[in-house]
Structure 1
Amino acid sequence: MPHGHSHGNGCSHEASGINNPLEMGIEYSLFKKIDLENMECLNEEIENSGKSVFKPFEKRLDFTEYVKSDADEELLFNIPFTGNVKLKGIIIIGDDDDTHPSKVRLFKNRQKMSFDDTTSSADQEFELSRDTSGQIEYATKIVTFATVHHLSLHFPSNFGSEYTKINYIGLRGEFTEAHDHGVTICNYEIRPNVSDHKNNLFNQVNHQIQ
């Protein structure tokens, strides 16, 4: 039987494996709801490599695809969804060395963030432990992340390396399709404008006199 314990920072660790892999795979399927065409990763060494870390839960241990930072250790993901997400948890898998990120900061519904924007307060942040197999989940504040259409993940630091390397990012939660309800604007004439009707009235009066 798996047993877990909380680390107090929203992190839960399953000591003997991650629950039922099939159930976890379903819950961690939010990667399918990412608008990958418009997703961006800032400071990635290889263009579009940031997109590769979002993959099926069962492929979380496939490290052939990863993202590596370029100029320094920072990485910033701007992740638009194709609908609304209730984000419940996140998994970060890296290598068992100093390239593993040591912190992640979460920002909701702030599109096209740059590194300059990350100086503002995050909606939530976690101190990360080295995790090479997806054993640690960081639980988000459900109330805060109940309706998310865009998520930014800022990794400001690692454990001492000149660059940061991430193999997998898993997002757990619920997805709701976005409904585009058209807005119909109706203009109602509450009080008739006399100037609009006086000519008609005048003509009607003249006609009756004649």
Structure 2
Amino acid sequence: MPHNHRDGHCSHESHEHDHDHSHAANDLGPNDNLFPHIDRANVVALNGTGQGSIVIKPWDQRNNEEVFLESDADDQLILRIPFTGSVRLRSLLLKAGPGDQTPTKVALFPNQPSMDFNDISDKAPVQEFNVPQDRNIAEHAVKTAKFSNVSSLTLFFPASQGADTTRIYYVGLLGHWTERKSDPVITVYEAQANLADHEKIQGTDGNFSTTQS
């Protein structure tokens, strides 16, 4: 069984890459980095050896190889990434590998928050990219018109490039975030008369006029 050594350890020395010269905006990276708008607590990895959120790293940790996500039973992997608002996606950033553990490609499915392996064969990806065997972070620019109102993004890695498992170090997303006008997940709050006294809850803008008693 090749699946009993997944504790986030990696023998590759890359500590010199952990911090680089890009420290703009308190290490948030590019102005359109969506990291602050990913609902990291609810990121899900299917057939993964760890929490999916471990590859959703802050900008200054994007080259860190000590923490990674690896596929478990075979070399397929699904990563479901919800956002805290509506996103107009521009690019996917991906660091994977090494070598044959690099996925052959990544398929993107917007707004499929519950997609699992049973659904994959029934749905065509909106876009997919071949993944190079490269230890650097690759940027894949999406067709923005097809990713203009995204509340969640599902990534499907169908196979490795020859290894028994697929390994992902970092997933980053660039684009424009806007607050949701309504969110069915928190509609329970809309009936509370004291909503305005609470700390702002994401997605309730515009709903106060409907809760007056």
The alignment's TM-score, normalised by the length of structure 2, stands at: 0.71
Shift of 1:137: 1.1
* 1:72–1:106 Cα change, 3 Å: same
Q: Which residues of structure 1 form unaligned runs of 5+?
A: 1-19, 185-210
Asked whether 1:128 is paired with 2:145, we answer no
Query: Structure 1 residue aligned with 2:166, among 147, 159, 164?
Result: 164
Q: Please tell me whether the aligned partners of residues 106 and 128 of structure 2 are also in contact (alpha carbons under 8 angstroms).
A: yes
Deviation at 1:22, TM superposition (A): 3.4
Aligned to 1:29: 33
Aligned residue for 2:44? 40
C-alpha separation between the residues in 2 aligned to 1:137 and 1:42? 23
Matched to 1:174, the amino acid is H
> What is the CA distance between 1:28 and its match in structure 2?
5.5
Amino acid corresponding to residue 136 of structure 2 in structure 1: S
3-state SS of 2:145 partner: coil
For 1:96 and 1:78, how far apart are their aligned partners in 2? Answer: 22
The answer to whether structure 1 residue 80 and structure 2 residue 73 are counterparts is no
| 1:151 pairs with one of 150, 153, 164 | 153
- RMSD (Å) for aligned C-alpha atoms: 2.2
For residue 59 of structure 1, report the CA deviation from its aligned partner: 1.1
1:44 partner SS: coil
Unaligned runs of 5+ in 2: 1-21, 183-205
Identity of aligned residues (%): 36
Deviation at 1:97, TM superposition (A): 1.0
Aligned to 1:54: 56
Aligned residues: 164
How far does the alpha carbon of each residue in 1:175-201 deviate from its partner, in whole angstroms, 9 at most, with x for none? 1111224496xxxxxxxxxxxxxxxxx
CA distance in 1, matches of 2:91, 2:31: 10
Instruction: State which of 87, 91, 96 in structure 2 corresponds to 1:94.
Output: 96
Match in the other structure for 2:175 = 173
> Given the two structures, how large is their TM-score scaled by the length of structure 1?
0.72
Is the CA contact 2:97–2:103 (under 8 Å) kept in the aligned structure 1? Answer: no
Whichever residue aligns with residue 34 of structure 1, its letter is: I
Write the distance in 2 (CA, Å) between the matches of 1:21 and 1:130: 27
- Per mean C-alpha deviation after superposition, the further-off stretch among 51-60 and 174-183 is 174-183
